[in-house]
């Protein structure tokens, strides 16, 4: 998938954008946009409002587009009669948005996607430096700058990585405490399997949910406390080194032992959430944005918790989704006003059940609270340098697809050969790109 996205993004640079970014073209492969319209006639603009017109915001939060996001948009429109805010839900977000960008039909506001680098942010987004917002109150606000020093996107939330678990499933398997060591973790998996419960969910079919297992930043920070993360590999010929393979080897061993879904090739996202809610699957390695989704599917709030990955030295902290305004947006004033409205006070983060990046928003998140209660400190990684992304794009490395091949490979020697092949590609490309 990432190969397709990267190619599409390269294509964008060669195409002129002739079509307005908010054009409401029918997308047959995706749900219809959700529109919350003002009660007045669409063509009527209030004399008291400086804002008017319509913008489209693309979201991958398909589960709340018709509920809390619709309410969020309506709140803005109530304050600004004559405006229309449309949320468009897209499931295969990165592929679809990349295609829309290449066709000159980018949404007015959208999330930055894989393949965008500090060098190319200005090709897709407008600068936000003049956005009327207290930047010092927004976490990760300086992580979204281009090579020219301008800010192009803004984080709506902050996420903490750990293992989400169903406490009722643990209890049914006779597990009294969350595992803090790998020995305890393997023992817990054995008990869960013996009780007829899938120890760890993956959603391998949809592929994207397994990203924490293949994140260089998470591996380096969790294991070594090194905040340089991906940037370390700009000076290394091995992209698949011992540290990076640590979590991959764990999930590969889990597959061998029957601790994942019986058929990981058919394990999908919607089923994973439902199985977690019903206690059929006990654990899922992810971020703090996930637990509320299984509560929404019927799990008791008190039955859902979160703990650090056993033996991790740090809990990885990262920005959530980073939103920007398309450089082709025709209603910039409205887009900026709504982007500010989304971020300030954490309104958008609350609407999608995440932790706001706006530090002035006082939100009590029970899942993050339990995660941090185990005494493992949170830490963030450095902003990824362009060279890492350039090398990765050059060799078309899709780490999530690699993990699937790695997990499915039963022969250890052949699994190592997969790593050696990519290490050779990385070393060759690095020699050309890093001077």
Residue 370 lies in a domain: no
Residue 286 is predicted with a pLDDT of 98
Q: State whether 127 and 174 are in the same domain.
A: no
Judged against a pLDDT cut of 60, whether residue 266 lies above it is answered with yes
- pTM (2 d.p.): 0.79
Residue 278 lies in a domain: yes
* Spatial separation of the C-alpha atoms in residues 78 and 420, rounded to whole Å: 58
Query: Which tokens in the block code for residue 56?
Result: 């489209």
Q: State whether 108 and 148 are in the same domain.
A: yes
Angle between helices 242-256 and 399-408 (to 10 degrees): 50
| Residue numbers of the domain that contains 211 | 159-318+379-433
The C-alpha angle with vertex 226 and arms to 221 and 232, in degrees rounded to 5, equals 110
Reference 261, options 222, 301, 203, 319; nearest CA is: 203
The C-alpha angle with vertex 344 and arms to 302 and 59, in degrees rounded to 5, equals 70
Residue 368 lies in a domain: no
Q: State whether 151 and 169 are in the same domain.
A: no
* Average pLDDT, integer, range 301-311: 98
Q: State whether 139 and 163 are in the same domain.
A: no
Residue 130 lies in a domain: yes
Residue 63 is predicted with a pLDDT of 87
* Spatial separation of the C-alpha atoms in residues 290 and 355, rounded to whole Å: 11
Residue 122 lies in a domain: yes
Q: Which residues pair with 53 in a beta bridge?
A: 83
Q: State whether 331 and 421 are in the same domain.
A: no
Task: Report whether 122 contacts 152 (CB < 8 A).
Answer: yes
* Average pLDDT, integer, range 280-294: 97
Q: Using 50, 70 and 90 to split pLDDT, how confident is the model at 362?
A: confident
Residue 46 is predicted with a pLDDT of 37
Judged against a pLDDT cut of 70, whether residue 7 lies above it is answered with no
Judged against a pLDDT cut of 50, whether residue 39 lies above it is answered with no
Q: State whether 231 and 133 are in the same domain.
A: no
Q: pLDDT tens digit string along 109-132? A: 999 987 788 889 999 999 999 999
Q: State whether 193 and 90 are in the same domain.
A: no
* Average pLDDT, integer, range 378-405: 93
Task: Report whether 18 contacts 108 (CB < 8 A).
Answer: no
The length of the chain in residues reads 435
Q: State whether 228 and 89 are in the same domain.
A: no
Region of poorest pLDDT, from 10-19, 200-209, 271-280, 354-363: 10-19
Q: State whether 341 and 418 are in the same domain.
A: no
Q: Using 50, 70 and 90 to split pLDDT, how confident is the model at 198?
A: very high
Query: Which tokens in the block code for residue 285?
Result: 């390695």
**Total number of domains constituting the chain:** 2
Residue with tokens 């091995």: 238
Q: pLDDT tens digit string along 402-415? A: 999 999 999 999 99
Q: State whether 185 and 303 are in the same domain.
A: yes
Q: State whether 350 and 312 are in the same domain.
A: no
Q: State whether 134 and 252 are in the same domain.
A: no
Query: Which tokens in the block code for residue 208?
Result: 């994207």
* Spatial separation of the C-alpha atoms in residues 367 and 345, rounded to whole Å: 20
* Average pLDDT, integer, range 291-300: 95
- Please say which residue of 330, 363, 396 terminates a domain: 363
Query: How does DSSP classify residue 11?
Result: H
* Average pLDDT, integer, range 303-331: 96
CATH number of the domain residue 278 falls in: 3.40.190.10
């Amino acid at each position: 998938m990432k190969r397709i996205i990267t190619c599409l993004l390269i294509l964008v640079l060669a195409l002129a954008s002739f079509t307005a970014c908010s054009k409401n073209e029918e997308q047959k492969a995706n749900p219809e946009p959700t529109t919350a319209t003002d009660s007045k006639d669409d063509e009527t603009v209030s004399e008291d409002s400086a804002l008017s017109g319509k913008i489209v915001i693309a979201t991958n939060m398909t589960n709340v587009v018709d509920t809390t996001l619709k309410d969020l948009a309506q709140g803005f429109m109530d304050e600004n009669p004559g405006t229309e805010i449309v949320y468009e839900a897209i499931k295969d977000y990165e592929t679809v948005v990349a295609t829309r960008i290449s066709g000159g039909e980018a949404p007015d506001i959208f999330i930055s996607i894989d393949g965008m680098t500090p060098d190319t942010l200005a090709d897709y987004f407008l600068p936000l430096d003049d956005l009327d917002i207290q930047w010092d109150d927004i976490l990760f606000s300086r992580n979204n700058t281009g090579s020219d020093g301008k800010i192009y996107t803004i984080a709506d939330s902050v996420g903490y990585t750990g293992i989400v678990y169903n406490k009722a499933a643990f209890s049914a398997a006779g597990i009294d405490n969350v595992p803090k060591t790998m020995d305890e973790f393997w023992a817990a998996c054995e008990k869960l399997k013996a009780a007829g419960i899938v120890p760890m969910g993956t959603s391998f079919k949809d592929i994207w949910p397994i990203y924490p297992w293949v994140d260089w930043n998470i591996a380096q920070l969790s294991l070594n406390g090194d905040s340089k993360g991906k940037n370390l590999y700009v000076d290394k010929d091995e992209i698949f080194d011992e540290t990076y393979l640590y979590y991959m080897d764990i999930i590969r061993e889990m597959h061998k032992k029957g601790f994942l879904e019986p058929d990981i090739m058919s394990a999908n996202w919607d089923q994973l959430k439902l199985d977690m809610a019903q206690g059929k699957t006990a654990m899922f390695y992810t971020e703090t944005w996930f637990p509320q989704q299984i509560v929404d599917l019927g799990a008791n709030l008190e039955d859902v918790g979160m703990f650090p990955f056993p033996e991790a030295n740090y809990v990885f902290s990262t920005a959530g989704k980073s939103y920007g305004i398309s450089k082709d947006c025709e209603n910039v004033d409205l887009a900026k006003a709504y982007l500010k409205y989304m971020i300030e006070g954490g309104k958008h983060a609350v609407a999608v059940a995440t932790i706001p990046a706006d530090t002035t928003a006082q939100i009590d998140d029970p899942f993050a609270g339990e995660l941090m209660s185990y005494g493992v400190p949170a830490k963030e990684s450095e902003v990824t340098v362009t060279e890492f992304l350039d090398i990765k794009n050059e060799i078309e490395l899709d780490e999530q697809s690699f993990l699937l091949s790695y997990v499915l490979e039963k022969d250890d020697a052949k699994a190592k050969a997969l790593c050696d092949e990519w290490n050779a590609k990385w070393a060759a490309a690095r020699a050309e790109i890093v001077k």
